[in-house]
Amino acid sequence: MTKKIALITGANKGLGIEIARGLGKAGLTVLVGARSEERGEAAAATLRDEGLDARFLHLDVTDEDVVAAAVKQVGEQYGRLDVLVNNAGIALADGDWNTSELTVATTRKVFETNVVGVVSVTNAFLPLIRESAAGRIVNVSSEVGSFGFMTGDSHDFTAMQPGAYGASKSALNMLTSSWSKEFKDTTIKINAMTPGYTKTDLNHNQGWRDPAVAAGAAVNLALIGEDGPNGGFFQDGNEYFDTDVVPW
């Protein structure tokens, strides 16, 4: 049987490399998307040293020309893409994370990567995903983009102002839902997930979840079968939710 091909954006560290590791262990060929050749090659080499089939793919999600070149390369090498995990993301704020302190420049930067970047990569790779027998797309979102979660009063995050970062993940959630309607009668499935508050550079390693564990929901959603969900928002082991379904 031909090996499935998975592309993970921002896969040189944090959750991205763990998602790549999980999919590599599941037997997929993993394309380690990274904007830095040095960091991406190093991550791919680490995964290869563990016996996984991992290759670096140059991919800055904010650069349309780079995205187009990546699509061309994957098309020429494999002719299709089975799994796309939109993981690359940034969290920026100004001052003390007060919404009133948010600058236009910061807002633009966050949306450019977390929202526009996902539209750019997903739509550019869609022709190759349509060549897969069962394309799977996973968007790495956040519970701080969930209106249901952030407007509740039962947890410590309620008081937090998620600012441009949270708003970008709300936008990503709506895009996920929107794409899912288009894919309804196809073999493609798209879902969003949140890893929960995870120890990575994004939060200066303040998160308490282990990235290898937190990556689990993304790996599972990338591997769902024909009977799997389309257009849902999920988590895996986050203490704030009773089920694996996250409120929009």
Within 132-161, which residues bind ligand NAP (CB under 6 A)? Answer: 140, 142
Among 29, 107, 113, 170, binds ligand NAP (CB under 6 A): 113
For CA atoms 55, 68, 224, 139, give the dihedral sign.
positive
Q: How far is the CB of 37 from ligand NAP (least distance, A)?
A: 10
Q: Which of 4, 78, 165, 189 is catalytic?
A: 165
Whether 169 is a known active-site residue: answer yes
For ligand NAP, give the closer residue by CB, 65 or 185. 65
In the stretch 193-232, what mask flags binding to ligand NAP with x, by CB under 6 A?
A: -xx-xx-xxxx---x-------------------------
- 197 an active-site residue? no
**Binding residue (CB under 6 A) for ligand NAP from 25, 39, 58, 109:** 39
Mask: binding to ligand NAP, 4-23, rule CB under 6 A, as x and -?
-----xx-xxxxx-------
Among 90, 124, 134, 213, indicate the residue that binds ligand NAP (CB under 6 A): 90
Query: Which stretch in 56-64, 75-83, 151-159, 230-238 sits in contact with ligand NAP by CB under 6 A?
Result: 56-64
Binding to ligand NAP (CB under 6 A) within 59-88 occurs at 59-62, 87-88
Name the token pair of 176. 């996920």
Specify the residue, 16 or 216, whose C-beta has the smaller distance to ligand NAP. Answer: 16
Q: How far apart are CA 88 and CA 138, in angstroms?
A: 12
CA distance 157 to 220: 26
DSSP class per residue in the chain: -PPPEEEETTTTSHHHHHHHHHHHHTT-EEEEEES-HHHHHHHHHHHHHTT--EEEEE--TT-HHHHHHHHHHHHHHHS--SEEEE--------TTS-GGG--HHHHHHHHIIIIIHHHHHHHHHHHHHTTSSS-EEEEE--GGG-HHHHT-SSSGGGG---HHHHHHHHHHHHHHHHHHHHHTTSS-EEEEEE--SB-SGGGTT---B-HHHHTHHHHHHHT--TTS-SS-EEESS-TT-SSSBPP-
From the CB of 112, what's the least distance to ligand NAP, in Å?
8
Which CB, 11 or 223, lies closer to ligand NAP?
A: 11
Chain residues binding ligand NAP by CB under 6 A are: 9-10, 12-16, 35-36, 39, 59-62, 87-91, 113, 117, 140, 142, 194-195, 197-198, 200-203, 207
Residues carrying an active site annotation: 165, 169
